[in-house]
Amino acid sequence: MPVRRELSEPRRGYLDLEGTIMIRILIAIAVLAAFLALIMTRPGGNRMSGETMPADAASPAPAHLQTATFGAGCFWCVEAIFQSLKGVHSVVSGYAGGTVDNPTYRQVCSGTTGHAEVAQIKFDPKVISYDELLTVFWHTHDPTTPNRQGADTGTQYRSVIFYENEEQKHIAEGSKKKTDASGLWSSPIVTEISPLPRFYVAEDYHQNYYRNNPNEGYCSFVIAPKMAKLRKEFKEKLK
């Protein structure tokens, strides 16, 4: 009996150790599964132009619509402004002009990818022209400050017009020259005018940001004054 007791006690300890290890393995597997599920469902995954769009652009765009792509600082501001105009069918926030495929917001904010935060606008040229969109563009951000809009600093906040074709290029260059000569801004306009590269749709939580978060701090203190200026200067063009 004593021998039997001596053999059974180590065996019991072994089983306890084995059970503890198994429990830890199961816990680790559960944590990993939860982490992977979070990654798969988080608002992230960028999309290239032409793929699934956010709610603002969910309905099919009529064939006669044209596209304008502008960068004027934080894309939350640009989106809110152009969503308010008559003739604008949809506005999608995204990234363009960089060297990294499918960039994330964190990567773009680092200033290392070369992308600008932009808004891609689908508009009806029968209601509002590309030149009229440009007029709003010049009036609702400061195109004289390189890589900066207010407190937002970095190449991702640069003033930029990405044109779709030679006609847009011609209109944009003429509009820039005309605005520069008008004295609207006391300093020279430094806005970049470049052909549209690949456009990446930003993460879902960036879409319709002002509409969804009107009382958020940035919206209240930065976007709201821009919207007030828009209503004052372009009342007749608003929806």
Q: Is the pLDDT of residue 53 over 90?
A: no
Q: Is the pLDDT of residue 12 over 50?
A: no
Say what the pLDDT of residue 88 is: 98
More confident residue, 51 or 154: 154
User: pLDDT tens for residues 185-229?
Assistant: 999 999 999 999 999 999 999 999 999 999 999 999 999 999 999
Domain 47-237 falls under CATH 3.40.50.1240: no
Tokens of 78: 């640009």
User: pLDDT tens for residues 111-131?
Assistant: 999 999 999 999 999 999 999
Q: Is the pLDDT of residue 8 over 60?
A: no
Q: How far apart are CA 66 and CA 25, in angstroms?
A: 56
Out of 74, 77, 109, 219, pick the active-site residue.
74
pLDDT mean over 8-33: 48
Say what the pLDDT of residue 165 is: 97
For tokens 């004054």, the residue is 225
The question of whether 74 is a catalytic residue gets the answer yes
Q: Which residues contact 204 (CB under 8 A, 6 or more apart)?
A: 43, 54
Q: Is the pLDDT of residue 142 over 60?
A: yes
Mean per-residue pLDDT of the chain: 84
Say what the pLDDT of residue 62 is: 80
pLDDT band at 37 (very low <50, low <70, confident <90, very high): very low
For tokens 């970049």, the residue is 192
**Helix axes 224-233 and 130-139, enclosed angle (nearest 10):** 130
Residue % of the chain over a pLDDT of 90: 73
* In the chain, where the domains are located: 1-42, 47-237
Say what the pLDDT of residue 72 is: 98
- Helix H, strand E, coil C: the string for the chain is CHHHHHHHHHHHHHHHHHHHHHHHHHHHHHHHHHHHHHHHHCCCCCEECCCCCCHHHCCCCCCCCEEEEEEECCHHHHHHHHHCECCEEEEEEEEECCCCCCCCHHHHHCCCCCCEEEEEEEECCCCCCHHHHHHHHHHCCCCCCCCEECCEECHHHCEEEEECCHHHHHHHHHHHHHHHHHCCCCCCCCCEEEECCCEEECCHHHCCHHHHCCCCHHHHHHHHHHHHHHHHHCHHHEC
pLDDT mean over 31-49: 40
User: pLDDT tens for residues 66-95?
Assistant: 999 999 999 999 999 999 999 999 999 999
- Asked whether 238 and 231 are in contact (CB, 8 A), the reply is yes
pLDDT band at 44 (very low <50, low <70, confident <90, very high): very low
Say what the pLDDT of residue 22 is: 55
